Amino acid sequence: MSKTVLVSGGAGFIGSHVTVGLSQAGYDVVIADNMSNCDETNYKGVCAILGKQLPFVKMDFCDAAAVDALFNKYRIDAVIHFAAYKAVGESVAEPLKYYKNNLGSFLNVLEASRAHGTHVLFSSSATVYGEPEKTPVTEESPRQEATSPYGNTKQMCEDFLRDCVRAYGIHGIALRYFNPIGAHPSALIGELPRGVPNNLVPYITQTAAGKRECLSIFGNDYPTEDGTCLRDYIDIVDLAKAHVCAVTRMLEDKMDEPYEIFNIGTGRPVSVLELVKAFEKVNGLKLNYKIAPRRAGDVTAIWADPTLAEKKLGWKATRSVEDTLASAWAWEKHIAGKN
């Protein structure tokens, strides 16, 4: 019998791609989302890609009774938790909103997982490493004190999971994502930021589409070759595959430790300017951009050492940054065509 995976926040950017990956790998998937930061586009896209309707529950993970009811209704073998707020700047302005939602929802997931013996995959972030002393970062690199409530919730949720795994006999994996970008090759699902995008690639594609006048490159006086920040941009479909590998590792009892952490990145640093140039080249267009002051809180350079994920999950990033940027542009055009 196939196993059932619950994807909280499954209608969002990462959740929708993971849902497709899981379903294509033979898992039954239940999607749950409160739709607070997305519309039905991605859910419809997921069903169109898969050629079938997946169970969808509109619910808030801060509602403990609703989470309990969900776990009682479906026999859930593993849960992947994405349902969280993710705007760093907003978290600084409204820390309580972030603590209540991001911690509260995860505590409810852990409580239900404890009761049902469900394994838990948590969507963590490279933000836990802060400004690293040494690059690339391995899973052993020290976590730094968080510079935002958002980053703090990622660290705290990792710790909640570690402690619950220790105490309750469930398995847990935290995946630390670097910078997820791109869209499904079908262009039917992708990133749908509300309002002005905070992240680089949606800002680039919206500028190329004429929705934004000009991209600001935040700082060209960093101590890097071209003066702009270095990041590890990971293709969203590659990232989704890492989740399938991690869930399978948990469910097939192949873990070395009951709680494991993996970096999910390419291992290749790319500067902001390099990314902009790659976008222009692969899509054959010119982007309107200017150099602007540094953005508060940005680290100079961070990229992954993804060796552990390759060794233990059997996962490796496969898509080039050019292919990924082409998929991001195809998605932006798909969205523009709908509006």
Residues that bind ligand UDP (CB under 6 A): 179, 198-200, 203, 215-218, 229, 231, 272, 295, 298
Least distance between ligand UDP and beta carbon 4 (Å): 32
223: burial class by Cβ within 10 Å (0-12, 13-18, 19+)? exposed
Report helix, strand or coil for 271: strand
Minimum distance from CB of 187 to ligand UDP (Å)?
Answer: 21
Q: By C-alpha distance, which of 153, 171, 157, 69 is closest to 114?
A: 171
C-alpha 192/C-alpha 179 separation (Å) is: 16
d(CA 80, CA 7): 5
Residue that the structure tokens 């997921």 belong to: 46
Cβ-proximal residue to ligand UDP, closest one? 229
The whole-angstrom separation of Cα 78 and Cα 59 is 18
In whole angstroms, the minimum distance from the beta carbon of 263 to ligand UDP comes to 14
Query: Considering beta carbons, is residue 115 or 214 the nearer one to ligand UDP?
Result: 214
Known catalytic residue at 150 = yes
Residue among 217 and 247 whose Cβ is closer to ligand UDP: 217
Residues 120/79, Cβ–Cβ less than 8 Å = yes
Contact between 60 and 11 under an 8 Å Cβ cutoff? The reply is no
> Residue 280 or residue 298: which is nearer to ligand UDP going by CB?
298
For the bound state, the minimum distance from the C-beta of residue 232 to ligand UDP, rounded and expressed in Å, comes to 9
What's the closest the beta carbon of residue 305 comes to ligand UDP, in angstroms? Answer: 17
d(CA 228, CA 174): 29
Active-site residue identified among 27, 98, 129, 150: 150
Q: Measured from the CB atom, is 105 or 125 closer to ligand UDP? A: 125
Compare residues 226 and 257 and give the one whose CB is closer to ligand UDP: 226
CA dist., res. 307 & res. 334, Å (int)? 35
Active site residues: 150
